């Protein structure tokens, strides 16, 4: 599968786009950037092929959603060097694994993957992207990245009353709106972390998911806006101390105090979620026993 747009984040074409948005003429763009008018024309043709409506005077009449160029500009905040956009791809995580220091965004996925080997519904209208976390991480600390990303998603959607269900599902009014799939590549002591995020924005959900999943449809937001807001929030949080991240994450967690069932491999634990520890593990009171659970699937009873 080849990308519909693959661009380095210091490519001059991003500047062309910014100047087009400011209403500059082809001639003025060429002059400002020291490039030929035919280079501008060629890029305008590329934009048209990506779904941007641009008239003969280079006025932008309409912008597609997601807007690959706006997303590329925002992806600078994720600490990546390259941006790839696909109208359709199997899974953005698969591409991001192969492309170092990249952010990969797709309009739809033909084989979107969820946690525990599940499928992730990825119809047009949702936000599906993956990127390489800007630092390498020892495998034993990878759960911290997942927690951080859960917090970023929850904060991105805070105005829509988003909450986190342990360990990292983001819910609105009790229904899942986003999922995170972090995958490790490379060595145990210093792994690349591929962060995959799916957010239901205005995609149609299949009937069988409607009682447990939700979208942002009623809020009338664009896929591009949600992506850019994620990238901004990420840049504000990524360098905070672990304790601060954990504290913020706990503030947005709505699992504490609830009666839950947690499935870990073949084991099932039922009890009351008492707290989370310093690494985000769930402290569960199961009858007289206290269990400490690192990861698993959690259901509210
Ligand atoms: C979950 O099961 O909750 C995790 C879902 C993660 C879905 C995202 S969509 C973008 C990226 N590409 C994938 O194939 N999966 C992740």
Q: In this structure, which residue's CA is closest to atom 7 in ligand 1? A: 198
Please report, rounded to a whole number, the percentage of residues in the chain having pLDDT higher than 70: 100
Please report, rounded to a whole number, the percentage of residues in the chain having pLDDT higher than 90: 97
145, with CB counted inside 10 A (0-12, 13-18, 19+), is buried
**For 238-256, what is each residue's pLDDT tens digit?**
999 999 999 999 999 999 9
Question: Which pLDDT score is estimated for 41?
Answer: 97
**For 114-167, what is each residue's pLDDT tens digit?**
998 899 999 999 999 999 999 999 999 999 999 999 999 999 999 999 999 999
pLDDT at 38 over 80: yes
What global pTM score does this model have? 0.96
Question: Ligand 1 center to residue 93 CA distance, Å?
Answer: 8
pLDDT band at 270 (very low <50, low <70, confident <90, very high): very high
Question: Which pLDDT score is estimated for 249?
Answer: 97
92 lines ligand 1 (CB under 6 A): yes
The candidate with the shortest Cα–Cα distance to 298, out of 164, 121, 152, 140, is 164
The whole-chain average pLDDT of the chain stands at 96
Other C-beta atoms lying within 10 Å of the C-beta of residue 194: 25
Question: Ligand 1 center to residue 70 CA distance, Å?
Answer: 22
What is the C-alpha separation between 213 and 201, in angstroms, rounded? 11
DSSP 226-246: HHHHHHHHHHHHTTS-HHHHH
167 lines ligand 1 (CB under 6 A): no
Question: Which pLDDT score is estimated for 268?
Answer: 95
112 lines ligand 1 (CB under 6 A): yes
Could you identify the atom of ligand 1 that is nearest to the CA of residue 91? 14
pLDDT band at 223 (very low <50, low <70, confident <90, very high): very high
296 lines ligand 1 (CB under 6 A): no
Could you identify the atom of ligand 1 that is nearest to the CA of residue 169? 3
pLDDT band at 214 (very low <50, low <70, confident <90, very high): very high
pLDDT at 1 over 80: no
Q: In this structure, which residue's CA is closest to atom 3 in ligand 1? A: 179
Q: In this structure, which residue's CA is closest to atom 15 in ligand 1? A: 113
**For 64-122, what is each residue's pLDDT tens digit?**
999 999 999 999 999 999 999 999 999 999 999 999 999 999 999 999 999 988 999 99
Other C-beta atoms lying within 10 Å of the C-beta of residue 206: 10
Which residues have CB under 8 Å from 34's CB, separation 6+?
Answer: none
109 lines ligand 1 (CB under 6 A): yes
Calculate mean pLDDT across residues 30-57. 97
Could you identify the atom of ligand 1 that is nearest to the CA of residue 113? 14
Question: Ligand 1 center to residue 37 CA distance, Å?
Answer: 41
Question: Which pLDDT score is estimated for 246?
Answer: 97
182 lines ligand 1 (CB under 6 A): no
Q: Are 73 and 14 in contact (CB under 8 A)?
A: yes
180 lines ligand 1 (CB under 6 A): yes
Question: Which pLDDT score is estimated for 114?
Answer: 95
Question: Ligand 1 center to residue 227 CA distance, Å?
Answer: 15
């Amino acid at each position: 599968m080849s990308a519909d747009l693959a661009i380095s984040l210091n490519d001059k074409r991003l500047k062309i786009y910014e100047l087009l948005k400011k209403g500059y003429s082809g001639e003025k763009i060429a002059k400002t950037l020291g490039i030929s008018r035919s280079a501008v024309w060629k890029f305008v043709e590329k934009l048209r092929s990506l779904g941007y409506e641009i008239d003969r005077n280079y006025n932008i009449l309409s912008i597609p959603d997601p807007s690959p160029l706006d997303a590329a500009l925002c992806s600078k905040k994720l600490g990546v060097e390259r941006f790839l956009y696909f109208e359709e791809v199997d899974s953005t995580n698969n591409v991001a694994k192969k492309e170092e220091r990249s952010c990969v965004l797709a309009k739809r996925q033909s084989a979107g993957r969820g946690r525990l080997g599940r499928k992730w519904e990825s119809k047009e209208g949702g936000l599906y992207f993956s990127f390489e976390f800007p630092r390498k991480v020892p495998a034993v600390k990878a759960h911290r990245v997942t927690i951080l990303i859960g917090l970023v998603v929850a904060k991105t959607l805070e105005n829509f009353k988003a909450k986190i269900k342990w360990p990292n599902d983001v819910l609105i009014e009790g229904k899942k709106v986003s999922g995170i799939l972090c995958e490790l590549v490379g060595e145990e002591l210093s792994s690349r972390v591929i962060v995959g995020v799916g957010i239901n924005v205005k995609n149609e959900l299949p009937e069988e998911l409607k009682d447990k999943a939700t979208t942002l449809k009623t809020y009338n937001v664009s896929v591009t806006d949600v992506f850019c807001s994620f990238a901004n929030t990420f840049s504000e949080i990524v360098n905070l101390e672990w304790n601060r991240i954990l504290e913020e994450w706990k503030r947005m967690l709505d699992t504490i105090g609830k009666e839950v069932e947690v499935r870990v491999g073949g084991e099932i634990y039922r009890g009351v979620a008492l707290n989370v520890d310093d690494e985000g593990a769930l402290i569960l009171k199961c009858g007289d026993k206290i269990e400490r659970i690192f990861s698993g699937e959690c259901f509210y009873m």
